[in-house]
A = this chain, B = another copy of it.
């Protein structure tokens, strides 16, 4: 894929300064760019690089004033960051433009595949499953009986979606993620063994959700585990049975949410957080990485930290004193000795 500065300016509605015919074939940060790269400058902090970069084409804000000549070709646009983002997206769309049903895919005769979908070889689409229009189902994806995938969704290689699960539109799920495995439900018996409680519910993933690689969303015991519209989950996340995650909530890698917990909307949850079961987390909560939340958070929009999680500021204050604990103990001892001495006088 090669583009001229002129073609790029046309794509992003910009104007060219310098050679309009110079070609670029990759995208790079301004400080790392080599010849043949397209780059951008948005943050004034990086302006110095404009004069040293080897990028062949640089997109800049239209009002940028140049101090001295620039080696590469400049493309001026209203918002350099947005223009570059648009090109990034376009670039990836072109790279990932797979279509058609490959011969070695397995599609059950009763399954339905939407228009213009991609189904890779070794993908397995079981009885009664429905794949929407423009979906990309990569190789080694498994879609169980009666599962539904909405239009324009992408499932990368090795995703497994168990039977009856329901995935919305424009959803992206990365490799190895499992949707709809059994919740962890066992009834203890008198002799110390456990009896499995059948998990007959499903998972519902609403529109515009993205889920990273090797995460797991368990199906509900009954009813549904629900990931609401616009939620973004990172890699290696555990979502237990009957959990509900509210709209536009973002959760970083390796966090885990235990059964039946309800997370509000627009929450931001760091990495390696653990949240116990059967509680609720208010809208807009911000939970620091590695926190352990063991009770309901009712107040909206607050910041939490620590294990067990406490209000962020209180936690920070305790943390600081924690680092001085040996000194604290010593001071206490000195006081004790001083007082004992004083009292014995």
Contact = CB atoms under 8 A, between A and B. Distances in A.
Interface of A: 27-29, 32, 85, 88-89, 91-92, 95-96, 102, 104, 106, 120-122, 124, 138-140, 142, 144-145, 156-158, 160, 162-164, 172, 174-176, 178, 181-182, 184, 186-187, 192-200, 208, 210, 212-216, 218, 222-223, 230, 232, 234-236, 238, 240, 247-248, 250, 252-254, 256, 258, 265-266, 271-272, 274, 276, 289-290, 292, 307-308, 310, 314, 317-326, 328-329, 331-332, 335-336, 338-339, 342-343
A139 B321 CA distance: 55
Query: How many copies, total?
Result: 3
A325 B323 contact: no
Contact of A156 (B181, B310, B319): B181
A104 B125 CA distance: 13
A122 B124 contact: yes
| Closest A-B pairs by Cβ, 6 of them | A88-B198, A321-B325, A142-B157, A160-B175, A178-B213, A181-B213
B122 A140 contact: yes
A256 B256 contact: no
B253 A240 contact: yes
24 contacts: A27-B222, A29-B223, A91-B200, A95-B163, A124-B140, A140-B140, A140-B158, A158-B158, A176-B216, A178-B213, A184-B232, A184-B253, A192-B247, A192-B248, A213-B216, A236-B238, A238-B253, A254-B256, A256-B272, A272-B274, A274-B289, A318-B323, A318-B324, A331-B336
A270 B91 CA distance: 38
A234 to B, nearest CB: 5
Contacts of A318: 322-326
B175 A181 contact: yes
